[in-house]
Amino acid sequence: MKIAILGWGSLVWNPKSLQYNTNCGWQKDGPMLPLEFSRISKDFRLTIVLEPTAQLVQSLYAISTNTTMEEAILNLAVREGSARNAIGYFGKSNNKSHPESFKYIENIKEWLAIHPEIEAVIWTNLNANWKEAGRLKSKKQDRIEHLKALDGPTKAIAEEYIRKTPIQIATNFRKEIEKELKWYPIEL
């Protein structure tokens, strides 16, 4: 079974234990998805997640070296340090997705139509937590203020994440962060 792993953040530039075909690497023509810097991680980085109000940007993908969905999902969950239920998936053969109500499944199906060799897709399906992290506002400046308030190694880690995010993930907030903080992409 040929399984695509979707990526848009540190998974691409820091795959750690992710098992994927490194000879082919990350392809830049993944499905169009609404992605934005809308999650505060445990180390206070501002990370990218699927965000219903975000603009569509083109994700990246790699091919898993695992041959079953179970193995691929477990491998991605371990790499992400998350539970298995935080990994989204879609299988063409059974037309089954997780979560069942995944809003962007049509984007993935359209993409699969031009990649008939790919039989399944998996992705990290974490939610935005800006509100839960105590940031009730969603204006660009609020995220910038969060980043400005970080210091030392915490700020360096946050800057690294944003600057190493693939250049094609040109979200609205990223453009504002570049303008305000001068954290421009680093080509890898």
Residue 16 sits in which domain range? 3-181
Backbone angles phi, psi at 143, to 5 degrees: -70, -40
Q: Is residue 146 part of a domain?
A: yes
The structural domain count of the chain equals 1
Residues 6+ apart with CB under 8 A from 86: 77, 80, 124, 125, 126
Q: Is residue 188 part of a domain?
A: no
Q: What is the pLDDT of residues 23-45, one digit of tens each?
A: 999 999 999 999 999 999 989 99
Q: Is residue 187 part of a domain?
A: no
CA distance 186 to 3: 28
Q: Quick one: tokens of 166? A: 């693939």
Q: Is residue 115 part of a domain?
A: yes
CB 173, CB 130: distance < 8 Å: no
Q: Is residue 95 part of a domain?
A: yes
Q: Is residue 53 part of a domain?
A: yes
Q: Is residue 186 part of a domain?
A: no
Better-predicted residue by pLDDT, 174 or 140: 174
Whole-model pTM: value is 0.93
Q: What is the pLDDT of residues 47-69, one digit of tens each?
A: 999 998 899 999 999 999 999 99
CA count, 13 A, side-chain hemisphere, 9: 26
Q: What is the pLDDT of residues 102-138, one digit of tens each?
A: 999 999 999 999 999 999 999 999 988 876 555 444 4
